[in-house]
Amino acid sequence: MQSFWLIFQLLACLGLGFLFAKRLPSWLEKLAFKILPYFTYVLLFAIAIEFSETIHTITAPWQILSSAMLIALSTSVGAFICCYILFKSLGYQPSHGKVSMQLVTSSLINISYAFIALGAGYAFAEIVAYFHINPHISTWNLLLVFMFLIGLDLAYSPLDRSWLNWKIFLVPLGCIVGSLIGAFIAAYFLPNINLKDLIMLSQGYGFYSMTGIVVSELKNAHLGSIALMNDLFREIFAIVFMYIIGWRYPRSAISSAGATAMDVTLPMVKQACGNDFIPHAMVSGFILSVLAPIFVSILAAI
C-alpha cells in the first residue's frame, strides 16, 4: 500500500505542475524556470550523500558501475535497433546530416557536470561522516519538488497537433520495446540481478534524477545505485549514438535517447538530425518522461 502512495505522490506533483503552470504568478514561474536547469545537480548531490552509506556496505563497488554500464548499453542498443526495424518495415530510408565538434564537446562537458555533482555529494558525505554529522537530506522530498518543476516545463513544451502523426509514436514505442529486449539480453550476463529488477531498471529511459530515488525507496539502495548509474550511462550512450550515427539514422538515435530527447539531447537532435526531426524528439521525450516514473514505480512495487 505504501508503494502505491509513493507512486501517487509522484504523479500528483507532476500533474499539479502541469495544471497550475499558467496559473502561477509570473515571478514564481520565472523563478521555477531559473531553478529547473540546476535542480538536477542538487538532486544528484543529495543522492550521492544517501548512496555513500551503501557503498561502504558493498564488497565490490565496481560491480555497480559494470552492471549499470552493461544494462545501459544493452537497452540503448536495443532501443536503437528496435526503432530502426520499425521504420525500416515502413520503407523509410537513411537520412543525411552533419555535426560540429563544438557541440560534441559542449554536450560532454554538460554530462560531466552530473558526475561532478555526484562526486561533490560523495565527498561532502565522507567529510561530515568523519565529524559524526548526519545532514538529514530527504531526496524523496527533493524529487517531489523536481516532478512539480518538470510538470511546469511540460506544460510549456512547444507541442503542436500537427506533430501527433501516428508514425512519430513509433519512436517512443521503439525505446520501450527495445529497452525491454535489452533487459532480457542483460539478464544473460548478469545472473546476480533477477529479471524483474532488470526490466524495472530498463524502463528509466535515461531519467536518472528520478529512477535512482524511486528504486531506492521502493526496493533498496544497492539497486537504486545501479538505476542511477544506468540512466547516466544511457544519456552518455545517447549522445555518442547521436553524433556517430544519428545523422544517418535519426529516428533510431532519438529512440535510444529516451526521455532526454526533449531536453538534454535536443540540441544534438537539431544539429545532427535537422529541424525536421525535432517533433520526433519532443513527442518521444514527452511521452517517455511521463511513462518513466509510472513504469519504474509500478515495476518496483510489484
Residue 237: the pLDDT is 86
Q: Compute the distance between CA of residue 227 and CA of residue 148 in angstroms, rounded to an integer.
A: 21
Q: Compute the distance between CA of residue 263 and CA of residue 247 in angstroms, rounded to an integer.
A: 18
pTM above 0.85, yes or no: no
Nearest to 38 by CA among 114, 105, 91, 106: 114
164-187 tens-digit pLDDT: 678 889 999 999 999 999 999 999
Q: Compute the distance between CA of residue 103 and CA of residue 62 in angstroms, rounded to an integer.
A: 31
Q: Is 243:231 a contact under the CB 8 Å cutoff?
A: no
Q: What is the DSSP letter of 97?
A: -
Residue 189: the pLDDT is 94
209-250 tens-digit pLDDT: 778 888 888 888 888 889 988 988 888 788 778 777 777 888
Q: Rounded to whole angstroms, what are the CA distances from 176 to 168, 188, 230, 259? A: 14, 19, 15, 11
Q: Is 272:254 a contact under the CB 8 Å cutoff?
A: no
Residue 103: the pLDDT is 60
